[in-house]
Amino acid sequence: MNDSTNQFGAGGGSAPGAQDQSKTNPMSPTFINTNGGGFQPPPATPSNPPIGSNPAFSAPSPPPPSFSPASGVLGVPMKETASVPPPPPKEVDIRTMAGDQEAFKIGGGLEPTPLTITPAGIDAGVKKIDSAGAPKRKASGNKKALLIGLGIIVFLGAAAVVANFFVLPFFLNDTENIVGENAQVVTPEEEVVPDVSPTIPVFVHASFLSGPADAQMEVVVNEMSLVSIRGNLTSAAAGALVAGNTLTEFNIVTGDMGQPATSEEFFGAMLPDLILATPLEDDFTGFLYSDGTKVWSGYIFAVDQTAEDKDLIKQILGEDLEASGALGNLFLNDPGAPSAAAFSNGSVLGELAGVRYLPYTADGASLNYGWKGDRLVISTSYAGLKAVANLVGGSGIADTEAEETP
């Protein structure tokens, strides 16, 4: 401490601001070569003056320490070292598993074997890992897909049932009931099937001829129509055509059961424009007259037995018959056109009275009718009317038992 004070006193006691500018900064490069290369110890620090005194000078700044390679730092001698060569470049080597295995074989070792270590007490809930390091998975993908597919099918089936029974009927009913812009409710009309029980008149055909004819036959028709009646009568006439004057009696039946045709059905088919204002009996008799060349048809009808004023009925029926425009349908063959404008009165033939006739252009064709009592005789030839005139009569009206509804 005293040496330091002496050194401080030798410094001249100058203030720090009056230091010698030739002093070198210890941190500068010239610090080592200052003062002949030797290291100067720092100057001694003067003792502090008493408190309250005013010294005449300020303490000088200590000189910077000198440094030399020979003396070392702070005067400590340093070993002389030789110059250090630069380090060799780093060798970079890439380590691979194959290289490690080769080196391990050269060293006499064996190939490493993977070892599975299971900590004690930890077995449950830990997935086993194979040598590749991948956890084993349960093959449950197919089962899950199957369950999902079944669920979709069940859902779609339920949706289809709901749509079929609840959704579609709702919309279809609205579409059917809404018609036009006014949305009118349309109620479908139910087909009314009349409860009609067929009435089968039960009667047995009775001939309106008092004497037997040369032949008798039954003409069966499929239906009571003009075509069916004329067709079947023409076929029957072919068998009735014989030499000489002959008379064949026939009756018309219809249906599979051979039900006798009524007079009303006959007039409705043969003379559709004739409205019968007078009642007639259901039964009637037909005949075919052959002159050896042609066959002519004729019919016998009867006024209803229950009618009161039969004379008036006969007059009205005659007038309605002459007014019909379909009289040509009563002929089996085409009679041509009427050769007269109206019916004319004829002579009495036997018991027939009130005879009237209308000639046609065809040879031998004429429409003739007359009355015997309440029976109306119609013939398509005058010769046929003469042949049957004395045979009209018989036992009268056919017995009608009852009208039965099966």
pLDDT digits (tens, 9 = 90+) for 26-43: 554 444 444 444 455 555
State the Cα–Cα distance between residues 154 and 166, nearest whole angstrom. Answer: 18
| Amino acid 305: pLDDT | 87
pLDDT greater at residue 338 or residue 43: 338
Of the candidates 335, 349, 250, 355, the residue with the CA atom closest to the CA atom of residue 294: 335
150 vs 252: which has the higher pLDDT: 252
Tell me what pLDDT residue 399 has.
45
pLDDT at 157 over 90: no
Task: Name, of 69-73, 93-97, 245-249, 275-279, the range with top average pLDDT.
Answer: 245-249
Average per-residue pLDDT for the chain: 73
Residue 279 burial class via C-beta count within 10 angstroms: exposed 0-12, middle 13-18, buried 19 and up: middle
Per-residue confidence band for 184, with pLDDT thresholds at 50, 70 and 90: low
Q: Could you tell me the pLDDT band of residue 405, with boundaries at 50, 70 and 90?
A: very low
Mean pLDDT value of segment 176-198: 57
- Residue type for position 371: W
pLDDT band at 49 (very low <50, low <70, confident <90, very high): low
Sign of CA dihedral 349, 352, 353, 358: negative
At 205 the pLDDT is: 87
Q: Does residue 207 have a pLDDT over 60?
A: yes
pLDDT in tens, 159-179: 888 887 777 776 666 555 555
User: Are 68 and 26 in contact, with CB atoms under 8 Å apart?
Assistant: no
* pTM for this predicted structure: 0.50
Q: What are the boundaries of each domain within the chain?
A: 1-73, 201-404
- Helices 263-270 and 226-240: angle between axes, nearest 10 degrees: 100
